[in-house]
Amino acid sequence: MLTPAEDADVCEHVYIIEGDLILESEKETVKLGKNDFFSFSNIKNTILMRCNVPVTFIYVTSKPMFNRVKMYFSNLDELIKKVDEKDHYTKTHCEHVTNYAIAISRNMKCSTSIVEKLALSALFHDVGKCYIPDHILQKPDKLTPEESKAIYKHPIHSKELVEPNFGEEIANIVLCHHERLNGSGYPQGIFGDQIPLESRIIAVADSFDAITTKRPYNSPKNFKDAVEELLGMPDLYDMRAVRALKKLVDSGEIYKLCNNHVNIITSGEEEDNK
């Protein structure tokens, strides 16, 4: 994400070493490739950066912005490490859900602001599972009522981990990703439009990945059957998001969404930061 700088005079530069990079604003989309270079300053709105293949680029900026980006990615890495150390499946699941949720939101023609919030909240929606005991998290059999209570607390734990790093709004989206339209979800039992749109989109992406992924307690379904299952539950899921997901499955675009990664080399008065 490229965000407005506090200093309007700051000029930032990006040079693409490998791969393709797509810049997306409310008004236009620009695709750049290897050896392309662009600069920007005094932007008014957030510009999303995304990729369909692994991409490495050099990011040159001022010292304050360098420190901000460095801290941002340090926070990302810390949370991702917490998840991976606890359960590698959860890390992979979070990556899938992020890709699905962003694709769904684009198909729904959501604003750049919503896509931006989804990029963070979907990635960390399950980070709170690092507080769930291993024997519960990886249990192949049906959970006991007490074990279920522990699982039901993971959105609360996720909120507590996310909020100090990314703020109240992102934390609330994370908190609500297991809420359902009819009020049968958890941890708050809220319903309908009380649930943030971003959380409703994550709920669809989350359930879709769970249905289509092999786990000890789960026989996975193919993508088309999984979408049909979600379409049959309008009391639980936002059908706008489910229909958007169906379009991705029907077009075959869904198969491209599980292997997108970005490597970023940051630079900016680096000698002062050693």
* Residue numbers annotated as active site: 129
Three-state DSSP string of 170-205:
HHHHHHCCCCCCCCCCCCCCCCHHHCCHHHHHHHHH
Reply yes or no: is the peptide bond before residue 234 cis, omega within 30 of 0. no
For the chain, give the longest Cα–Cα distance: 59
For 139, the 3-state DSSP assignment is coil
Burial 6-26 (b: 16+ CB within 10 A, else e): eeeebebebbbeebbbebbee
The C-alpha angle 192, 96, 231, rounded to 5 degrees, equals 40
